[in-house]
């Protein structure tokens, strides 16, 4: 089809006022910036602290699995070895990507808002290093292993020196692992692998099963952002709670 509208040339775009959005578009990126920064700073500090990570049957998710590696006389904090994995999962997560491209890279800070310094060349995720984002599914596989480990930790948290019991810490750890599961299994990559990749669901019996799972995952996926934030909060809070109890600043509330 040839187009003939007399005006097909890509004429120079008309210079318009830089940004005529007058609403409070900056609140959302600011909140994301503050939220992620706070967590980042807290997690880094906690990773280097290398103490107050367990109390009774509780083990901080930052320090699980608890593997200590020595280099000479120096013991590396397990958190430094562990945290990169969930970090990679979240860094390559489709939700967080959009969020930090907006809040940190200002690419764009909000919809229809000028980027303060629109770079000469934009390549998005089509060039290295950002092509790495395409490996999100592998980060997902690892994240599933971590869910298993944290679930085991949460079960152990019922074991008070051989007695079945439950404290506030147990509850927090259980909620944490639940929310982490919701976040992990509502992942876009998982949604694709489980059923999104198919073009015909009704063509085979396995297709129909995969469709049903895909449908559920899709429902959860709509709330992926919510789970991302809730689980980020609970994982930090779980660590904070255990740290405070472990440091003796507060006392664990024991239900039974």
* Residues at the site binding another protein, with contacts judged by CB under 8 A: 1-16, 19-23, 94, 97-98, 101-102, 107-108, 111-115, 118-119, 122-127, 130-131, 134-137, 188-189, 192-193, 196-204, 208, 211, 221-222
CB of 39: closest distance to another protein in angstroms? Answer: 20
CB of 184: closest distance to another protein in angstroms? Answer: 16
Nearer to another protein, 67 or 203 (CB): 203
Nearer to another protein, 51 or 208 (CB): 208
Nearer to another protein, 161 or 222 (CB): 222
Q: In terms of DSSP H, where are the helices of 104-223?
A: 136-156, 168-185, 188-191, 205-221
The number of beta carbons lying within 10 Å of the beta carbon of residue 219 is 10
Nearer to another protein, 32 or 150 (CB): 32
CB of 231: closest distance to another protein in angstroms? Answer: 19
Considering all CA atoms of the chain, what is the largest pairwise distance in Å, rounded to the nearest integer? 84
Q: 164 to each of 59, 135, 175, how far by Cα in Å?
A: 17, 41, 18
CB of 6: closest distance to another protein in angstroms? Answer: 4
Rounded Cα–Cα distance for residues 129 and 118 (Å): 19
CB within 8 Å of 80: residues ≥ 6 apart: 47, 48
């Amino acid at each position: 089809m040839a187009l003939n509208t007399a005006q097909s040339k890509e004429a120079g775009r008309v210079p318009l006022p830089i940004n005529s959005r007058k609403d409070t578009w900056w609140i959302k990126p600011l909140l994301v910036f503050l939220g992620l920064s706070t967590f980042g700073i807290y997690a880094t500090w906690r990773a280097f602290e290398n103490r107050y990570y367990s109390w009774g049957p509780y083990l901080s998710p930052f320090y699980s699995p608890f593997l200590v590696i020595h280099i000479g006389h120096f013991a590396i904090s397990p958190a430094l070895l562990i945290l990169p994995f969930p970090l990679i999962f979240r860094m390559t997560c489709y939700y967080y990507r959009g969020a930090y491209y907006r809040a940190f890279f200002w690419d764009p800070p909000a919809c229809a808002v000028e980027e303060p310094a629109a770079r000469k060349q934009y390549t998005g995720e089509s060039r290295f290093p950002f092509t790495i984002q395409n490996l999100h599914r592998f980060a997902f596989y690892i994240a599933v292993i971590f869910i298993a480990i944290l679930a085991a930790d949460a079960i152990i948290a019922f074991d008070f020196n051989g007695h079945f019991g439950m404290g506030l810490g147990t509850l927090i750890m259980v909620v944490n692992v639940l929310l982490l599961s919701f976040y992990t299994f509502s992942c876009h990559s998982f949604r694709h692998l489980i059923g999104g990749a198919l073009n015909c669901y009704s063509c085979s019996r396995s297709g129909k099963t995969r469709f049903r799972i895909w449908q559920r995952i899709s429902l959860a996926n709509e709330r992926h952002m919510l789970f991302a934030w809730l689980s980020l909060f609970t994982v930090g809070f779980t660590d904070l709670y255990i740290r405070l109890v472990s440091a003796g600043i507060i006392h664990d509330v024991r239900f039974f």
